[in-house]
Amino acid sequence: MAEVVVPDLGDFADVPVSELLAAAGDEVTAAQPLVVLESDKSSMEIPAGADGTLTEMRVAVGDTVSAGDVIAVVVDADPSDPLTVAESPDGDSAEPGDSAPSAAPSDETRRVTKPALGEARSGSPDGPAKRDRVYASPSVRRLARTLGVDLSSLTGSGRGGRILAEDVRSPKAQAQQARGGGLDLIPWPEVDFEEYGPVERQKLSRIRKLTRDNLARNWVHIPHVTHHDEADITELEAFRKQLNTEQSDAKVTMVSLLLKACAATLKQFPNVNSSLDGDELVVKDYYHLGFAADTPNGLVVPVVRDVDKKGLVDLAFELAELSGKARGGKLSPGEMRGGTFTISSLGGIGGTGFTPIVNAPEVAILGVVRSKTQPVWNGSDFEPRLMLPLSLSYDHRVIDGAEAARSTAHLASVLADFRRVLL
């Protein structure tokens, strides 16, 4: 008997199980993956480690595991009597025995049937056994989930029948997607780029792969609308500079002020701080705000918890700490989970506005760009005012246009007069 143990995961712990690739009673090989672990930054398959019978699966989808945890039990095959397929006189495979393997299995119990790909396994809780015989990388599995494609229905074109990304995007897969209410997209264009000139191929980082798949899923499943507005931050910017002059413990950035202003706005507009869960709207009474951090490896979203309960200097400290971890690739999965609302700031780069993609399961995200001085009519004259463009993207299934406009206007009023955070 061999226990399948989670290997060293580096700095990660409590990594969720995203997929089960086998079930109790299956015959497995040493290299055959049993589960897929998927954190916010990477994915990995855990193989059986030994040939034999999977007698126990100790985890389920959604469970979290750490290095050293036992996830399954495999009874090793007898090396002197390797597993064979019992054949009936007419050539058909015999049915597997009902009894569990013993410490000293008989010839009869060792001769087990390996079901053919696509054949139903009566003892499997997941129904068709073909799912257990799918060979695909974690990235291909994520792509299939994003597009709504059943991998078990595909024939892999890769080595050893491995399913590749192009198989998931094949006409057969697209037809399946159409029958299941998918997008029915035409296949991705196949282009020989070298035909037109020299190219350089670069592997996507794991973060960029996860970002690609998550954003594609969110854009497809969420009916996005973006509302644009402006906030007069003339006094707020002066206040920020004054704070940084008076104290040197931590640099208060505009993002720190935005976090505080957004938390105050979310309290007034609770739907913007909610999530859809089936037929229910989950309205949260906590304010954990994420902020998009640009790193050398791609975009990550650290989460600042309980923003409404923290002062500006504390927020500035936490922002600096999380940003440093993000750039160094040292964020833990827990530091990127549980967000209720996200801020994406391009203020240090520029632009006049953009349409950020909602970060599911949240229902809204705020995009800000570089502020600029504009002439604003004060009733009797034009005066220069520092204006900050605001772009609120929202899930139209939860938030309608009027609520989006009101919440953005409220945010603009808080930024114009920061005393409103006390209300």
Which residues are annotated as catalytic? Answer: 396
**From CA 13, how far away is CA 208, in angstroms rounded?**
21
Q: Is the dihedral of CA 175, 177, 181, 184 positive or negative?
A: negative
Q: What residues contact 184, with CB distance under 8 A and at least 6 apart?
A: 174, 177, 178
Residue 410 is encoded by which pair of tokens? 């409220």
Non-local (6+) Cβ contacts of 180 within 8 A are 148
Contact 388, 374 (CB under 8 A): no
The C-alpha atoms of residue 57 and residue 55 are separated, in whole angstroms, by 7
Rg over alpha carbons for the chain, rounded to the nearest Å, is 27
In whole angstroms, what is the distance from residue 9 CA to residue 15 CA? 9
Q: At what angle do helices 234-246 and 401-416 cross, to 10 degrees?
A: 50
Token pair listed for 397: 């299934």
Tell me the CA distances in angstroms from 56 to 104, 120, 319, one per residue in order: 18, 20, 44
User: What count of other Cβ atoms lies within 10 Å of the Cβ of residue 165?
Assistant: 15
Q: In the numeric block, which tokens belong to residue 210?
A: 């996860």
- Calculate the CA dihedral of residues 330, 336, 341, 346 and round it to 10 degrees: 30
Give yes or no for a contact between 23 and 132, defined as CB atoms under 8 angstroms apart.
yes
- Per the listing, tokens 């024939």 go with 155
**Main-chain phi, psi angles of 77, to 5 degrees:** -70, 145
Is residue 94 within 8 A of residue 109, CB to CB? The reply is no
Report whether the peptide linkage leading into residue 189 is cis, meaning its omega lies within 30 degrees of zero.
Answer: no
